Amino acid sequence: MSAKRVKFLLALGLVGALGLASSATAQDRDRSSREGPGYGESRERTDASRYSERARKSDWERGKQELARALKMGEEKNFYRRELEKMGYQITATNYDKADYVEYEVVKGDQTWEVQIDLDKDSHKAKKVEISTNMWQAENTDRALKGKKASSRQTTRGNVRYSDRDRSKDWDRGKDELARVLKTGEERDSYRRQLEKMGYQITSVNSDKPDYVEYEVVKGDQTYEIQIDFDKNSRKANKVDVTTNMWKAEATERALASKEDKRKVSAPESRHESRPESRR
């Protein structure tokens, strides 16, 4: 075969390859256009150690125990603020600051807690101190967790809409509903179908292994982490946990922010601060 013919065939093959690549790119653009902005984000794959509640909860529990030991009841309000700062915790938001109740969001490193203190109106001393999850985080708390400088002006601002004590009742109802529906003994795809049927959006897949899958899901302004363990032989679930979702993937945060924006438009937030309902 002549050298000219070889060059011609090589050139022809290169043109064909470029044509296929261009066609594939066009198909991807067309698919993205059909799906709208954010195509693929609802199935975002994330680093499980970064967002997984199961992977990170043990460190959070140690912090909770440390706080519970130090913040004992029987002290006046200012004691708790001083003690938190002494322990290296940053108070990033004050959700409530009333004569009988104060609620702080605190951050240390990449962890956050909600400190709930009930005060006796006569003695002004704490009669109950709870260290809780901080699932609904004020903007200042979110900034601190992301390594950004928190605003000191916002630490004393009322942020009642972020109170876990206020909002946990609705969250618990959703958890109970999920626990009733997502029973063990099903194959993997069944759980996806059931979640979507219930109106939940799977915003992140934190883990997708033969023996374990972990989803972050959103419905309205609520989010949960679904943890499913599978039997390697039958490939059916032998354990299903519905838990908090404090460490949210970016796609989850975007979905919640979108719901919050819609809520503000349809029902402007009231300035009235009601007394939080006790969880117990």
The reply to whether 278 falls in a domain is no
| DSSP helix/strand/coil, 194 | helix
The reply to whether 197 falls in a domain is yes
Last residue of a domain, one of 144, 162, 180: 162
Q: Report the distance separating Cα 221 and Cα 73, nearest Å.
A: 33
Clarify whether residues 173 and 262 are in a common domain.
Answer: yes
Distances (CA, A) of 134 to 125, 213, 245: 24, 24, 10
Could you tell me which of 137, 138, 126, 73 has the C-alpha nearest to residue 101? 126
The reply to whether 19 falls in a domain is no
Structural contact between residues 214 and 226, judged by C-beta atoms closer than 8 angstroms: yes
Clarify whether residues 150 and 81 are in a common domain.
Answer: yes
Clarify whether residues 220 and 258 are in a common domain.
Answer: yes
The reply to whether 272 falls in a domain is no
Determine the pLDDT at residue 260.
66
Assigned token pair, 236: 């059916």
The reply to whether 218 falls in a domain is yes
The reply to whether 277 falls in a domain is no
Overall number of domains in the chain = 2
Determine the pLDDT at residue 10.
52
| Domain range enclosing 125 | 71-162
Could you tell me which of 202, 200, 231 has the C-alpha nearest to residue 214? 202
Its pTM surpasses 0.85: no
- Cα distance from N-terminal residue to C-terminal residue, the chain: 88
Clarify whether residues 144 and 106 are in a common domain.
Answer: yes
Last residue of a domain, one of 162, 178, 196: 162
Determine the pLDDT at residue 102.
96
Clarify whether residues 173 and 117 are in a common domain.
Answer: no
Q: Residues of the chain whose pLDDT is less than 50?
A: 6, 14-15, 17-18, 20-46, 268-280
Determine the pLDDT at residue 28.
42
Clarify whether residues 126 and 156 are in a common domain.
Answer: yes
Last residue of a domain, one of 162, 196, 226: 162
The reply to whether 75 falls in a domain is yes
